[in-house]
Amino acid sequence: MKLPFFGKKDTSEQTPKPRKKTAKELAAESAAARRAHALEHGLVGHPEVEREYRRKRFFVVYETWIRAGIFVGIGLFVLLIGGAITFAVIRNLPGRDDDNDSVLNVNDVCPGFDDRLDEDDDDVPNGCEEIPPSTEIATLETNIVNRGQDRYDVAIKVRNPNQEWGVSPLEYAIHLTDSEGALINSSTRLKAYLLPGQEKYLTAFNILAIKQPVAAELSISLADWIKVQNYVPPLFATSTVSYDEVEEPGAFARLKGKAINHTTFTFDNIRVTILIRDAAGKLIGINQSGIETLRPSEERDFIVTFANEIAGVTSAGISYETDVDVFRNDSFVSTAVVKGQRFQQFTPQTPP
Ligand SMILES: [Ca+2]
Ligand SMILES: [Ca+2]
Ligand SMILES: [Ca+2]
């Protein structure tokens, strides 16, 4: 038993005085207590529980609006489908032909236009035919070559502005005018073609002009635009074999050239335009030749005669433009061509 002790205080068993808590610690304690209390009583407190609670609360508060929105949405959708079906049914009622082209609506390829008109025979009626982005055939260069005895040859360089459209046929005439712009004479109506994106010379030969012409104008009377897909320009390599001045009546020089077909098609009616320039780049001679039935990789000679004197011809001054109207089915040989089928629908053959 411990006896009461008087005098000096015995501090051996005394517990230390608790440290005073900081405001921060007190706040944390209080928050923890609140959270524990909330969890214990099913009240929100945990962040995920709280989010779920807010989400549910949103749907409860806005329930009416949400229902209304869903109803309106479904209503509009049903109306749209119903309208489309009704329109299709009414339009295709037996016997209806809204554009009076004798093709019933149900079979009408080109509503609003006459389905029977199909000038280029590609099963797309004229009214629904696609139109090229531009039909402007630009003139890049005009050359008039005097061949003597009041006769002139003309070569006008033009450009097809469309990479996916060609022209076939292209019908044109060339008019020679004097220094006052007055017409001296015109060529006959000539026929050519323009390949997609092509720059080429349109020519006219032997136009009579009793006055010195100073300008030549191109007038295009027909340009039938045709669309192509995955177009690859037909490639021919043309070169000079020989150029000789000859002493023959009606002939000044004879040019022999050769062309090689680097395409995978056998072509017919290949056209070669021969252009001779002097050292200054001036066109001094124009001529033209054709090659029939040229198979892939085949090489063929052609010969042209220049009737009138040309001065200053060098081999470097001779150039060629060789092409073929790929839009004409008769340009393709020994290929089974179905009516209406065109170049762009052929599958290129593998060269032998
Ligand atoms: Ca019709
Ligand atoms: Ca029609
Ligand atoms: Ca058509």
- The pLDDT tens digits for 283-301 are 999 999 999 999 999 999 9
Residue 344: pLDDT over 80: no
Nearest ligand, measured from the Cα of 126: 3
Centre of ligand 1 to C-alpha 95, Å, is 10
CA of 180: how far to CAs of 183, 211, 212, 214, 219, in Å? 9, 12, 11, 9, 19
Mean pLDDT of 109-129: 90
Which residues keep their CB under 5 angstroms from ion ligand 2? 99, 101, 108, 110, 115
8 residue type, one letter:
K
Instruction: Please give the pLDDT value at position 110.
Output: 94
Radius of gyration of the chain (CA): 44
Do 92 and 105 contact (CB within 8 A), yes or no?
Answer: yes
Tell how far the Cα of 340 is from the centroid of ligand 2, in angstroms: 20
The pLDDT confidence band at residue 35, using thresholds 50, 70 and 90, is: confident
Average pLDDT, the chain: 87
Question: For residues 152-170, b (16+ Cβ closer than 10 Å) or e, as one string?
Answer: bbbbbbbbbebebbbbbeb
End-to-end C-alpha distance for the chain, whole angstroms:
126
169 preceded by a cis bond (ω within 30 of 0): yes
pTM: 0.65
